[in-house]
A and B are shown apart, each in its own frame.
Chain A
Amino acid sequence: MDLEEAKEFKERCTQCAAVSWGLTDEGKYYCTSCHNVTERSKEVINTGDIPNTKIQAINRGLKRKRKFEKGWDWYVCEGFQQILYQQAEALKTLGVGPELKNEVLHNFWKRYLQKSKQAYCKNPVYTSKRKATVLEDNPSHSDWDSEPDLLSDFSCPSFVESGTDSKPDGHTQKPFPISRTSQSETASICSGSLDGVTYSLQKEKGIVKMTVPRTLALCYLSLLWQRETITLSDLLRLVEEGHIPYIHAFQRFPEEMKLYGRDKGIFAIESWPTYEDIYKKTIEIAKFLDLPRFPDITEDCYLHPNILCMKYLMEVNLPDEMNDLTCQVVKMTGIGEVDFLTFDPIAKMAKTVKYDVQAVAIIVIVLKLLFLLDDNLEWTLSNIAEKYNEKNKEDKPWFDFRKWYQVMKRSIDEKKQKWEEARAKYLWKSEKPLYHSSIDKGVVYKRREMVVNLQKQFSTLVDSVPTVEKKRPSSFQFNWTEGDSTRTCFHGHGLQGILKKKGQSLTTKNSLYWLSTQKFCRSYCKHVTTYEESNFSRSYQFIINLFSFLLRIKTSSLHEEVSLIEKRLFKAKYSKTKKKSRSRKGRK
């Protein structure tokens, strides 16, 4: 009989033409002056875009309405479950096997709930035990395809008992102790979820709290477990390009999961995920989940450096022939070994290889081996290659570093510019604004409306064709074609000009090498070395910038990775000639 709620219904009564509506217990409108009951019910008007089945479910009164913000009772972990579900679905549409979602991620999540004592354990943190019991009783729900329904499904029984007035009082009291109900009422003032306040205050030692960035860490863990062909940098790029829900993930929660107050701090994200951060969180979560050793990364896996190097050689338009050299470096340094590559969270020093960064670092080293990159030799070699190519137009062309540099420089600058523009144009705020409390709700909504209106006005000034088209998901960012001079493809170019025969094998013409780092940091700080750009040759700077932009990582972390692999490659030299600025390198 809530007259307040019926205010939004503005039609005239068919009997007496008055506009004065009340709500019946079934949620239908009735006229307060002539008591004519309409066929229209409140829910239909509010949620017109929801399929019929759901409306019926609501009309039956299965969902208990809460006073402050009409919506379902839900827990924070359910919100994360929603996000993970969306992310898993997105990965599936990107072509990842369905096992990832149904088995791996699902199991990881269950394990997480158990480890963080939220479910699947003897004393879960929630007094209601709702989730735990339901999930245990329904093993069939391991199929997440029907997840949103599943969510409502397993919350139904409890809602029926507490929500409808027809049940005798004694019955309602049983599953829901009074303390809980009152708690939920107070909590509802500060958060849409039942435990938003307690969740954000909770600081238990030894428990890794779920956060939105950590959902990505979980996704990456499952990808790693499945040895899928998506690296961490790929994953983050897909997030950035909007193919995997992240920043606006909470917007796709079911209508009835209302978010406000503390939920804002938990689910609203105002930063892009960074490689280092998600990498750290991945290890942290794997340790927290106490996961066993991951499936072996063998030579036929995508994440093996040999294959990844091939991929990145193609991506940055370098000759295929370089792959032989990368493979050699991998072999010499031993970073292609299964034990080195496979992630083992319970090992003493849990760390996982940054597969993509490592592969790229190997390419940098090979470039240094071939061209020295001292701002001198690479250009001399380019001159030779250029002359040869001019004379022998029919033959397979020699790789010309200068030409490659020109093509790459232009392409990467263009890409970077576009990337920066897209970042500057990114719209962070959600369509449904989040507010802290009912006090500022009006203000927040008004502000949102204002922004929308202004945007609408200015969008009429912009050409109807959106300048930032949504990119199709791809593991490659560049596309090289033969013929087009601005996108010349160097894949088929040869290395003859740079290599020479020595007995049976080929060696590089260039016999010099310089180490990216002479000093490694030995103190307790976690970094390996520093990268002061201006200390290095321009070619090296260019290469480092190019690759770190491709992977969206910091230049310093790529430099570190290069240094670490060099340390393995020149182990002997390191111990002997630590002080020499340039070490002469023998033939490998």
Chain B
Amino acid sequence: MSDFSEELVRSKTEDEQEESCMFSGTGMSFPWLQKHIETVATGGKKEKDFAQTTSACLSFIQEALLKHQWQQAAEYMHSYFQILEDSDSYKRQAAPEIIWKLGSEILFYHPKSNMETFNTFADRMKNIGVMNYLKISLQHVLYLLHHGMFEDANRNLSHAETWRYGEKSASQEVLINLIQAYKGLLQYYTWSKNKMELSRLDKEDYAYNTAFQNMLNHSGKMSVNLCTLIQTPGVWDPFVKSYVEMLEFYGDRDKAREVLTNYAYDEKFPSNPNAHIYLYNFLKREKAPREKLISVLKILYQIVPSHKLMLEFHRLLRKSEKEDHRKLALEVLFGVLDFAGCTKNITAWKYLAKYLRQTLMENHLAWVQEEWNSRKNWWPGFHFSFFWAKTNWKEDKALACEKALVAGILLGKGCRYFRYISKQDDQVIKKKIKRIKKSVKKYSIANPGL
């Protein structure tokens, strides 16, 4: 009988494999695949009902969590704990992390749960096996911070920081660094509170000195804690930001610049727009030469061409003497307006209208055409449709005027957007429209034939 059932199973999976070949390109999901993989993992041996219980239990918990039924989820968790006693050592070792994730989620939301239960649970889970101690400690700390338990969080971090187990594996070392950095972050918190106090105090005040000393103490520890992590490749925005703030406060600009430059330019670090933004803002505060600012924003432009700093970038480029910078200035503006989120950005349109005129005045028709060629297929529908003309006019007349000018220059006065706006009979901006009409007549690139 069992031979028979195995045959059935085999024939079924074969069919399914064929199916997967047929549809694999279409991005469909195959719920059976997970099951199929699970049976393969057990090496064809019949799964014990114990394993069935735990896996069924897991899916019941997931379902309950999805539906926010914390009560039911807790009930199933009660049974799911037995997976910690699974005779399959692979499953047993993977279990604590799953239990921690599910359990902490349940305890976070369950109406009968409280800080105490959560803390007990976290402390228990930390000590199951050795691989999860740091990870759970850290998440526990985040939970405590979420509930404003600053002191407890700090204490937990100190515990975790000193925790060692034999030879640290590479992954654990990063975790220790991270824990130290979080400690640094908490110190930053105290430090900036002190800073606030300090700003309220008079320099002559007796308390000023103590407060200053206090701050200095914190900052020393803080820089030690943050330093190691920041040098490890990764995205550490809040840590970098607070570290730089502190360095700047004590006037250590060189160190701050070094940290930020390293964070932005070190190739081992993942590409991170914020790194460039921090560096740019720092350099701006430092009043660095325009050339330098441009070089920083150039990289940001490559990562996030729609960033709001791009308009600032455009201004910098516009003022530059170099021709290729001025060409880039046009490119940047077009780039910004390629994004749906920026379509109503009046500054961007204003800049574009102004800069198009300027460029054409300077006889750089080729630049404009180069940008326009790749967009002429879709910008008319995307920006200059009749619908947009109506809506823009209704919502923001100034925006509509700027857009109309751009549309006129790029598409000629025959285009629907321009026609709609120019026909509007509005006393207030009558003059403006007249000016626009004139400009269009003069600069439009679309109607040499007309």
Task: Give chain B residues whose Cβ lies under 8 Å from the Cβ of A557.
Answer: 1
Interface segment among A87-95, A302-310, A450-458: the answer is A450-458
B301 in contact (CB, < 8 A): no
B85–A425 touching, CB < 8 Å: no
Q: How far is the CA of A570 from the CA of B395 in the complex (A)?
A: 83
Known: A276-B1, A554-B5. A429 touches B82 (CB 8 A): yes
Cβ contact within 8 Å between A526 and B75: no
1/0 per residue A435-464: CB within 8 Å of B?
000000000100110110111011111110
A433 to B112, CA, bound (A): 31
Residue B113 at the chain A interface, CB threshold 8 Å: yes
CB A345 to nearest CB in B, in angstroms, measures 20
Shortest B4–chain A CB gap in Å is: 3
Q: Is B34 at the interface (CB under 8 A from chain A)?
A: no
Minimum CB distance partner of B127 in chain A? A450
Docked complex: A414-447 residues within 8 A CB-CB of B:
420-421, 423-429, 433, 444, 447
Q: With the chains together, A428 CA to B3 CA distance in Å? A: 28
Across the interface, do A451 and B3 meet the contact criterion of CB distance under 8 Å?
no
Determine whether the beta carbon of A424 is less than 8 Å from that of B85. Answer: no
B56 and A423 contacting across the interface, CB-CB below 8 Å: yes
CB distance from A527 to the nearest CB of B (A): 3
B372 at the interface (CB under 8 A from A): no
Check if B420 is an interface residue, CB within 8 A of chain A: no
Is A518 interfacial (CB 8 A cutoff)?
no
Q: Are B49 and A271 in contact (CB under 8 A)?
A: yes
- In whole angstroms, how far apart are the Cα atoms of A460 and B107 in the complex? 11
Q: Using known A-B contacts A424-B79, A427-B79, A525-B4, determine if residue A457 contacts B57 with beta carbons closer than 8 Å.
A: no
Q: Are A460 and B76 in contact (CB under 8 A)?
A: no
Given A447-B85, A458-B77, the answer on whether A426 and B1 have CB atoms closer than 8 Å is no
Q: When the two chains form their complex, are residues A424 and B74 in contact, meaning their CB atoms are under 8 A apart?
A: no
B87 contacts A424, C-beta separation under 8 Å: no
A276 and B1 CA atoms in complex are apart in Å by 8
- The answer to whether A458 touches B74 (Cβ under 8 A) is yes
Given contacts A270-B50, A525-B4, contact A421 B84 (CB under 8 A): no
Bound CA span A454–B100, Å: 11
Check if A527 sits within 8 Å of B1, measured CB to CB: yes
Minimum CB–CB distance for A469 against chain B, Å: 14
Query: Inside 8 A of A455's CB, which chain B residues have their CB?
Result: 78, 81
A457 touches B49 (CB 8 A): no
Give Cα A462 to B1, complex, Å. 42
Shortest beta-carbon distance from A266 to chain B in Å: 14
Name the distance in Å between A439's Cβ and chain B's nearest Cβ: 15
By a CB distance below 8 angstroms, the chain B residues around A451 are 81-82, 84-85
Cα-based distance from A47 to B120 in the complex (angstroms) = 32
State the main secondary structure of chain B at its contact with A. Answer: helix
Interface residues in B114-132 (C-beta closer than 8 Å to A): 117, 120-121, 124, 128
Complex Cα spacing A556 to B2, Å: 11
Mask, A523-538, CB within 8 Å of B = 1, is 0011100100000000
* Distance of A484 from chain B, by nearest CB (Å): 27
Q: Which residues from A are CB-within-8-Å of B427?
A: none
A-B contact count (CB 8 A): 103
> Which residues of B in the span 53-100 have a Cβ within 8 Å of any Cβ on A?
53, 56-57, 60, 70-71, 74-79, 81-82, 84-85, 87, 99
Assuming A270-B48, A457-B120, A461-B110, is B3 touching A426 (CB within 8 A)?
Answer: no
Quick check: B112 and A527 within 8 Å, CB to CB? no
Q: Looking at the complex, which one of A271, A447, A467, A530 makes contact with B50 (CB distance below 8 Å)? A: A271
Check: B377 CB closer than 8 A to any chain A CB.
no
Contact of A424 with B71 in the complex, beta carbons under 8 Å: no
The interface residues of chain A lying within 8 Å CB-to-CB of B70 are 461
Residues of A within 8 A of B29 (CB): none
Asked if B2 and A276 make an inter-chain contact with CB atoms under 8 angstroms apart, the answer reads yes
Q: Are the CB atoms of B76 and A424 closer together than 8 Å?
A: yes
Cα distance A451–B103 in the bound complex, in angstroms: 13
How many Å lie between the Cα of A556 and that of B3 in the bound state?
13
Residues of B within 8 A of A554 (CB): 5
List A contacts of B3 (CB < 8 A): 525-527
List of A residues within 8 angstroms of B7 by Cβ: 530
Contact partner of A428 among B60, B76, B82, B106, CB < 8 A?
Answer: B82
B52 CB-CB contact with A under 8 Å: yes
B128 adjacent to A462 (CB under 8 Å): no
Question: Which residues 270-326 in A have Cβ within 8 Å of B in the complex?
Answer: 270-272, 276, 280
B87 touches A270 (CB 8 A): yes
The answer to the question of B21 belonging to the interface, with a C-beta cut-off of 8 Å to chain A, is: no
With a cutoff of 8 Å between Cβ atoms, the chain B residues found around residue A425 in the complex are 57, 75-76, 78-79
B60 near A421 with CB under 8 A, answer yes
Note all chain A residues with C-beta closer than 8 A to B112.
Answer: 460-461
Q: How far is the CA of A362 from the CA of B154 in the complex (A)?
A: 72
| B450 in contact (CB, < 8 A) | no
**A467 and B64 alpha carbons, distance in the complex (Å):** 15
Let me know if B428 is at the binding interface, CB within 8 A. Answer: no
Q: How far is the CB of A242 from chain B (nearest CB, A)?
A: 14
Q: How far is the CA of A461 from the CA of B75 in the complex (A)?
A: 8
Indicate whether A448 sits within 8 Å of B124 (C-beta atoms), given known contacts A270-B49, A271-B50, A423-B53.
no
- Closest-CB distance, B428 to chain A (whole angstroms): 66
Cα A276 to Cα B85 with chains together (Å): 29
Residues of chain A in range 248-272 having any CB-CB distance to chain B below 8 Å: 270-272
The answer to whether B74 touches A447 (Cβ under 8 A) is no
- Could you tell me if B71 and A463 are in contact, using CB atoms closer than 8 angstroms? yes
Query: Which residue of A423, A448, A525 is within 8 Å of B85 (Cβ)?
Result: A448
Please tell me if B41 contacts chain A, counting CB pairs below 8 Å: no
Q: Is B8 interfacial (CB-CB < 8 Å)?
A: yes
State A530–B71 Cα separation when bound (angstroms).
43
Contact between B85 and A429, CB atoms less than 8 A apart: yes
Q: With a CB–CB cut-off of 8 A, which chain B residues contact A423?
A: 49, 52-53, 56
Cβ–Cβ contact B82 & A427, under 8 A = yes
Q: Which residue of B lies closest to A426 (CB)?
A: B53
The residue on A at minimum CB distance from B99 is A454
**Considering only CB atoms, which chain A residue lies closest to B48 in the complex?**
A270
Q: Which residue of A lies closest to B87 (CB)?
A: A270
Interchain CA distance A272-B56 in the complex, whole Å: 15
Q: In the complex, which residues of chain A have a beta carbon less than 8 angstroms from the beta carbon of B49?
A: 270-272, 423, 428
Q: Are A426 and B79 in contact (CB under 8 A)?
A: yes
Say how far A117's CB is from chain B's closest CB, in angstroms: 30
**Which residue of the partner chain A has the closest CB to B1?**
A276
Write out the residue numbers on chain A whose beta carbons fall within 8 Å of the beta carbon of B85: 429, 433, 444, 447-448, 451
B residues less than 8 Å from A454 (CB atoms): 81, 84, 99, 103, 121, 124
Inter-chain CA distance A380–B107, complex, in Å, is 55
Measured between beta carbons, the chain A residues less than 8 angstroms from B113 are: 461
How many Å from the CB of B19 to the closest CB on chain A? Answer: 14
Q: In the complex the two chains form, what is the Cα distance from A426 to B107 in whole Å?
A: 22
Contact, CB under 8 Å: B57 / A424: yes
Query: Does B8 lie within 8 Å of A556, measured CB to CB?
Result: yes
Which residues of chain A are within 8 angstroms of B60 by Cβ–Cβ distance? 421, 424
- Taking CB atoms, residues of chain B closer than 8 Å to A453 are 124
Residue in chain B with minimal CB distance to A521? B4
B75 CB contacts on chain A under 8 angstroms:
425, 462, 467
CB distance from A30 to the nearest CB of B (A): 39
Cβ contact within 8 Å between B50 and A556: no
Q: Considering the chains assembled together, what is the distance between the CA atoms of A28 and B84 in angstroms? A: 39
CA distance A276 to B70 in the complex (A): 39
Inter-chain CA distance A49–B41, complex, in Å, is 46
A556 contacts B71, CB within 8 Å? no
Contacts A450-B128, A461-B110; is A526 near B1 (CB within 8 Å)? yes
Chain A contacts to B: CB under 8 angstroms = 270-272, 276, 280, 420-421, 423-429, 433, 444, 447-448, 450-451, 453-455, 457-463, 467, 525-527, 530, 554, 556-557
A425-B78, A444-B85 are known; give 6 further A-B pairs, CB within 8 A.
A270-B48, A423-B52, A450-B84, A459-B78, A525-B3, A556-B4
Identify 11 residue pairs between A and B in the complex whose beta-carbon atoms are under 8 Å apart, listed by A's number.
A276-B1, A426-B79, A428-B50, A454-B124, A457-B124, A458-B78, A461-B110, A461-B113, A527-B1, A556-B5, A557-B1
> Which 8 A-B pairs have CB atoms at the shortest separation, nearest pair first?
A527-B4, A270-B50, A461-B74, A424-B56, A271-B49, A270-B48, A424-B57, A425-B79
